[in-house]
Amino acid sequence: MKLYGYWRSTSSYRVRIALALKGLAVEPIPVHLVRGGGEQLQPDYRAVNPQARLPSLALDDGTVLTQSPAILEYLEERYPDPPLLPADPVARAHVRAVAAIVGCDIHPLHNSGPLNHLRGDLGIAEPAVQAWIARWIGDGFAAIEALIGADGYCFGPEPGLADVYLVPQLYAAKRFAVPLHAYPKIARVDALCEAHPAFAAAHPARQPDAE
pTM > 0.75: yes or no: yes
The domain made up of 2-82 has a fold known as Glutaredoxin (3.40.30)
Q: Does 144 have pLDDT greater than 80?
A: yes
- So what's the pLDDT on residue 37? 87
Q: Where in the chain is the domain with CATH 3.40.30.10?
A: 2-82
Q: What average pLDDT does the structure give for the chain?
A: 95
The whole-angstrom separation of Cα 22 and Cα 5 is 18
pLDDT tens figures, 187-206: 999 999 999 999 999 999 99
Q: How far is CA 157 from CA 90, 106, 194, in A?
A: 18, 25, 15
Q: Transcribe 120-140 into DSSP letters.
A: IIS---HHHHHHHHHHHHHHH
Q: Which of helix, strand or coil describes residue 64?
A: strand
Burial of 164 (0-12, 13-18, 19+ CB in 10 A): buried
- Residue 56 pLDDT level (bands cut at 50, 70, 90): very high
Pairing of strands 27-30, 64-66: unpaired
Q: Which of helix, strand or coil describes residue 61?
A: coil
pLDDT tens figures, 150-187: 999 999 999 999 999 999 999 999 999 999 999 999 99
For domain 89-199, is the CATH number 1.20.58.710?
A: no
Average pLDDT of span 133-149: 95
Q: Does 74 have pLDDT greater than 90?
A: yes
Q: Where in the chain is the domain with CATH 1.20.1050.10?
A: 89-199
Q: What phi and psi values does residue 190 have, to the nearest 5 degrees?
A: -60, -45
